[in-house]
Amino acid sequence: MAQHFSITDLFTIGIGPSSSHTVGPMRAARDFAERALERPDVGQVVCELYGSLALTGHGHATDTAILLGLAGHSPEGVCPDAIAGLVADIRHADRLMLAGRVDIAFVETRHLLFRKGEFLPGHANAMRFTATYGDGSDYSETYFSVGGGAIAREGADAARANFTLTYPFASGEELLALGEATGLNFGAIIEANEAAWRDITETHAFIDAVRAAMLDCVARGMAHDGVLPGGLNVKRRAKCLHDRLLARGPRSDPSTVFEWVSLWALAVNEENAAGGRVVTAPTNGAAGVIPAVLKYYEVFTANPTPEGSRLLLTTATAIGFLYKTNASISAAEMGCQGEVGVACSIAAAGLAAALGGTNAQVENAAEIGMEHNLGLTCDPIGGLVQIPCIERNTMGAIKAINAAYLALQGDGAHIVSLDAVIETMRQTGEDMRSKYKETSLGGLAVNVVEC
């Protein structure tokens, strides 16, 4: 299957703490609310959560997302600071305005059901919504949150129609061949393909908005302290670390660089854990890797340019499409290799491109970034996107930078292809036991019970 995604599918601006468990369910609930109101006599709506959504939904704020989505709010539009009040009002009244238009009763214990231990065949992140009308008839839809905030409605044709890509590709091999045939780098190939949806100036405006949102998130994360919500009593560290680095002043030893990079990734994922505004890149749980690598490029490399920042993000997009096409970016399917692993891989590719790497070197950087994340499990303690998720982003960012420079030291020739490592990730994800795939039934989630 040739690449049919847009850059707007890989990078979306939403809220924390989880793209698959918060952003996706909110979009699904909002979509269902609009569909249910094609008939005005809605009496009640019931939402049933399955699989990973049921097992870790409370820790990932899936319940909050469903309430907000049914009430007509979107991840892009809702103000993070207003969420607590909006949800409190619904819970206090046991009522909500469906799609913001029709008042219905909504009692969580009766209308939002966590079917723990039950999985639907379509995907590990599944939701079933049922509306009941005045005449007793029902309308039901099943949705899957497939990673990165994207959703799929069961039975719906997900293929996009009425567009033609200039340079379609479905594998790293095809992407390299396109570059050889056209003389274009991977970022330019993506920009040419984006013309199927919008003018190049709009694409550049979107990329610049994503960059700004990423860097704004870094800044907000470094400005706030306190304790993260959820009950683990995890203290926010980014502000204190930022203050210490500033007080220490300029230093020439190499540790300064990776301390700053780690800080930037930490800041983003603390914001995400607090339910703040983040960019899925390609998921919320891995949202800190690319912003930290992007900021590394802009602060620590010799000649950063706005064009280089765009190239970093468009190149990351090209590699991200390969993972979405041939494997998955959902931790419920792949474990954390599908989140932090993919983020590391695509960030490494983007940085290698921004630093002037050839297409072969960029592909090599992407392969290195994933090869050394294979088998990474997703085992969040308490079902919260905090431990080990926040620190894991700092590791991913540092590893991405290392992968980029390793690739740039070579000529692009290497033994393991990107396609081979993506297929290996897919197979590893399929072989991985479900307790290690965002269910909080294995790993650290069960071995660390006191925090």
More confident site: 1 or 341? 341
Run of H or E including 150: strand 150-153
Cβ neighbours for 252, distance < 8 A, ≥ 6 positions apart: none
In the numeric block, which tokens belong to residue 353? 């491109």
Tell me the C-alpha distance between 302 and 425, whole Å. Answer: 34
Asked if the model's pLDDT at residue 39 lies above 60, the reply is yes
* Total residue count of the chain as it appears in this document: 451
User: Would the pLDDT of 388 be above 50?
Assistant: yes
Place of tokens 């005449």: 135
Interhelix angle 306-326/418-431, rounded to 10 degrees, is 50
The whole-number average pLDDT for the span 407-430 is 97
Of the listed ranges 32-36, 60-64, 248-252, 368-372, the one predicted with least confidence = 248-252
**pLDDT tens track for 327-354:** 999 999 999 999 999 999 999 999 999 9
The two structure tokens encoding residue 358: 């050839």
Distance CA 64, CA 53 (A): 12
Sheet arrangement for strand 138-147? 112-115, 42-50, 125-133, 138-147, 150-153
**Whole-number Å distance between alpha carbons of 419 and 335:** 19
Half-sphere exposure of 205 (CA within 13 A, CB side): 5
Question: Does an H or E element contain 131, and which?
Answer: strand 125-133
Supply the pLDDT for residue 157: 64
Cα 335-336-339 angle, rounded to 5 deg: 115
Tell me the domains of the chain and their CATH numbers: 7-153 (3.30.1330.90), 172-436 (1.10.4100)
pTM of the model: 0.92
Q: Do 211 and 294 contact (CB within 8 A), yes or no?
A: yes
Between the CA of residue 401 and those of 315, 394, 414, what are the distances in Å? 15, 11, 18
Q: Which amino acid would we find at residue 71? A: A
pLDDT of residue 160: 54
Chain centroid to CA 98: how far?
Answer: 27
Evaluate if residue 46 carries a pLDDT over 70. Answer: yes
For residue 170, CA distances in Å to 165, 279, 290, 319, 438 come to 12, 25, 23, 10, 28
- Model confidence at 451, pLDDT cuts 50, 70, 90, reads very low
pLDDT at 449: 62
**pLDDT tens for each residue of 241-294:** 999 999 988 877 888 999 999 999 999 999 999 999 999 999 999 999 999 999
- Mean pLDDT score across all residues of the chain: 94
Omega cis (within 30) before 80:
no
Mean pLDDT of 10-19: 92
Tokens for 136, please give them. Answer: 């007793």
Q: Are 394 and 344 in contact (CB under 8 A)?
A: no
Which string of b and e fits 257-284 if b means at least 16 CB within 10 Å?
A: eebbbbbbbbbbbbbbbbbbbbbbbbbb
Q: What is the pLDDT of residue 448?
A: 85
What tokens does 152 get?
A: 């799929």
Compute the distance between CA of residue 416 and CA of residue 235 in angstroms, rounded to an integer.
Answer: 41
- pLDDT of 234 reads 97
**C-alpha gyration radius of the chain:** 21
50 φ/ψ angles, rounded to the nearest 5 degrees:
-130, 165
CA distance to 389, 392, 401, per residue, from 395 (Å): 10, 5, 10
Beta bridge partners of 96: 104
Contact 354, 303 (CB under 8 A): no
In the predicted model, is pLDDT for residue 108 greater than 90?
yes
